[in-house]
Amino acid sequence: MSTDTLDQTADDIKSSTAAAAEKGQKAFNDAIAMAQDKIAETARVAQKALREGADNLRTQSKVYRDNASEQFDEAQRYIVDRVKERPVTAALTGLGVGLLLG
């Protein structure tokens, strides 16, 4: 083989290697861009799911809060009615509970 042939072969190998490296770099950059897009999309989906979950929780807790408020009002009316019916018994009961707690 002549030196010209060897030089030509070396040049061909260099250009092939450079092209392969450039192609690999482009594929790597494309993969990174695709991964960034997927991560951004996943973050948007997760944010939407969390927002909907918080809204659902807020709605459900309102129902429970309203129900508890109604039950508390009903219990308060019951106690007031019983105290009005029997004020002496209620006063003695309150005194007894106070002594027990004290």
Both tokens assigned to 56 = 């659902």
Q: Where are the alpha helices (DSSP H) in 1-102?
A: 3-85, 87-101
pLDDT confidence of residue 1: 59
Under 8 Å between Cβ of 79 and 87: no
Task: Please tell me the pTM assigned to this model.
Answer: 0.50
At 18, is the pLDDT very low, low, confident or very high (cuts 50, 70, 90)? confident
